[in-house]
Amino acid sequence: MTGIPGANQKPATAARIYDYFLGGIHNFTADQDAAKAIMGRAPSIQAIARTNRAFLGRAVRYLTSVGVKQFLDIGSGIPTVGNVHEVAQADVPDARVVYVDIDPVAVAESQEMLDGNQWATAIRGDLRDPRSLLDAPQVRKLLDFNQPIGLLLVGVLYFVPDNAEAYAAVADLLAPLAPGSHLVLSHGTLEGKAFSEGDLKSTQDVYRRQTATPLEMRSHAEIARFFDGLDLVEPGLVWQPEWRPNPAEQGDFDAEPERSRMLAGVARVP
């Protein structure tokens, strides 16, 4: 996409940086520069991105196995291999998926990819404004809030640095969901073999300088709080590679799960 007129002037976004980490092509010069700066400070970041994507796929397959046929994926990013609708519709052909992202390029690319798929759509929305997001006509048209929904917040909440705002947003998103709905969440943590203090600060500085998106890691206890009032599915809140690993798939951090630097969990709405 760097050949598009004006592409070099587009500011970096978290969605397109993530796309670069995953080896995607939907990113611009500014995204590549920011991604390379982060990789210089945290060389394992691409492996972390792959691990996060693999968890998403396992979680979606788990939800379809327990009867969830609708998904609201917030912070969905740029379309790439293993998207939610591809995974879900492989098991349930009429599974319904709404992708939400704050980046208009991510939304436009998603809409183009989904053209002709009557069960999936993409909208622009802000996690920090959950009520507007939930009331969006496309959301209400495609998703039935009287039936279980999988709320996917995978690798996105650390872009809401204020704890009060983050917890309130998740509570507001969960409030209208029917019993049997599930929250799927992954989040970078300060614990385990995470970034050194210097590497973390420099990575945060890259996001603050080169994108409009701050970055904030949280502790295990702070991440666990997002699941308050829900029933955590086994094995609970764990390092991403430890959440129901597929023996047929080899991951980057299977031998040292905490090097994934991301905790993940799935919980049921009672």
| Type of residue numbered 163 | N
Q: Given this model, what pLDDT does residue 27 score?
A: 79
Residue environment code for 202-214, b if the CB has 16+ CB neighbours within 10 A, otherwise e:
bbbebbeebbebe
121: β partners: 98
d(CA 37, CA 70): 37
In whole angstroms, how far apart are CA 124 and each of 84, 136, 206, 217? 17, 10, 24, 25
Domains and their CATH numbers in the chain? 53-193+214-268 (3.40.50.150)
Question: What residues have CB less than 8 Å from 111, skipping those under 6 apart?
Answer: 121, 122
* Cβ-based neighbour number of residue 267 at 10 Å: 22
Q: Is the dihedral of CA 179, 79, 251, 91 positive or negative?
A: positive
Q: Given this model, what pLDDT does residue 203 score?
A: 54
Per-residue pLDDT of the chain (270 residues), as tens digits, is 433 334 445 678 777 777 777 777 777 888 888 878 877 777 777 888 889 999 999 999 999 999 999 999 999 987 677 799 999 999 999 999 999 999 898 899 899 989 999 999 999 999 999 999 999 999 999 999 999 999 999 999 998 999 999 999 999 999 999 999 999 999 998 776 555 544 555 555 454 554 555 678 899 999 999 999 999 999 999 999 999 999 888 788 888 898 888 999 999 999
The pTM of this model reads 0.85
